[in-house]
Amino acid sequence: MADILTLVFRTFMSQTGRMKPPSPGPPPPAAPSALLVGARSVSGSVLLLAAVTAASQAGRRVVFFSPAQIQSLPGTLQRLGPNMSPQSLKKIQFFYPRTLAELLQQVAGLHEATGPSSTPPSLIIVDRLESFLCSAGLHPGEQSCAAHLSALLCDTAAFFSQVLEQRAPCSAPCRILASFQKEMDTGPAGGEASAADPILNVLDRYFQTRCTLAQDSGYEAAAAGLQEVWHVYLSGTTDCEDVVQEWQLLISPDGLMEFKWI
């Protein structure tokens, strides 16, 4: 999924970011699944950018699950509104399950709506995994619900990937992109917090790529006169080697989001 996220970052890259040459070393792998870990407001906006980018630029059919209806779009998408193709946006289908049970039922029923004349989704997005898991009354020592949901998402994506390949051998496989907010975030890359969070440890077994969002409250953010500055860490494993790619997310007071390659 690093391919979709990288496409988002490049699409909404700032002009200064475009001037900087790519950093050396291989990028994170284009894994079947990726997990955004960080503040809910920012990760939700990135997921929306991913949905629109996948539908408009990659021509993917997207299904987007969220525990609550989306009230407003990020400023970046509002500004692009007049230039976005209505036909592209029709490729995004929103679902609003309220509980984990409803989410499981809706994900399991996706294949029933895919007939010979319909296009299977090639991107499944789940916003705010923690909201669904909390609705199930999860306690720190109970990770079975997280494993059940993750396994169902992976099995569903594998099913759609098989259907897509049968219809067009060169088509891209179905990917999964989800967000999760930990109760406490410590450290810019979330290393220690990950070890202390049993639910996140379970999710990491199923989501091969991690996208960690860490807010920068230092001098650079204040000097830039921006509303927020975030560090974005894309991490994964390729050829048995751990790889981390770093970006910077700049959010202006009007909600405009721009990315810079660090």
Over the chain (262 residues), the average pLDDT of each successive run of 10 is 81 66 51 89 92 88 94 73 71 94 94 75 95 67 83 95 88 92 56 63 91 82 72 78 83 86 81
The tally of domains found in the chain comes to: 1
Q: For residues 44 and 179, what is the distance between their CA atoms, to the nearest angstrom?
A: 7
Q: Is residue 260 part of a domain?
A: no
Is 215 domain-assigned? no
List the structure tokens of 16.
Answer: 């200064």
pLDDT value of position 141? 45
Return the structure tokens found at 12: 């909404």
Q: What is the CATH number of the domain that holds 160?
A: 3.40.50
> Which tens digit of pLDDT belongs to each residue from 164-182?
999 888 888 899 999 999 8
Residues 6+ apart with CB under 8 A from 216: 229, 230, 231, 248
Beta bridge mates, 204: none
User: Looking at the domain assignment, is residue 249 inside a domain?
Assistant: no
Answer for the pair 179, 35: CB distance below 8 angstroms, yes or no. yes
Instruction: Tell me if 197 is assigned to some domain.
Output: yes
Residue 118 lies in a domain: yes
Domain carrying residue 36: 2-210
> Tens digits of per-residue pLDDT, 11-57?
888 765 454 555 544 455 556 899 999 998 899 999 999 999 999 88
Please report whether residue 233 resides in a domain.
no
Specify the pTM. 0.85
Q: Is residue 34 part of a domain?
A: yes
Q: Is residue 221 part of a domain?
A: no
What is the radius of gyration, based on Cα positions, of the chain?
Answer: 18
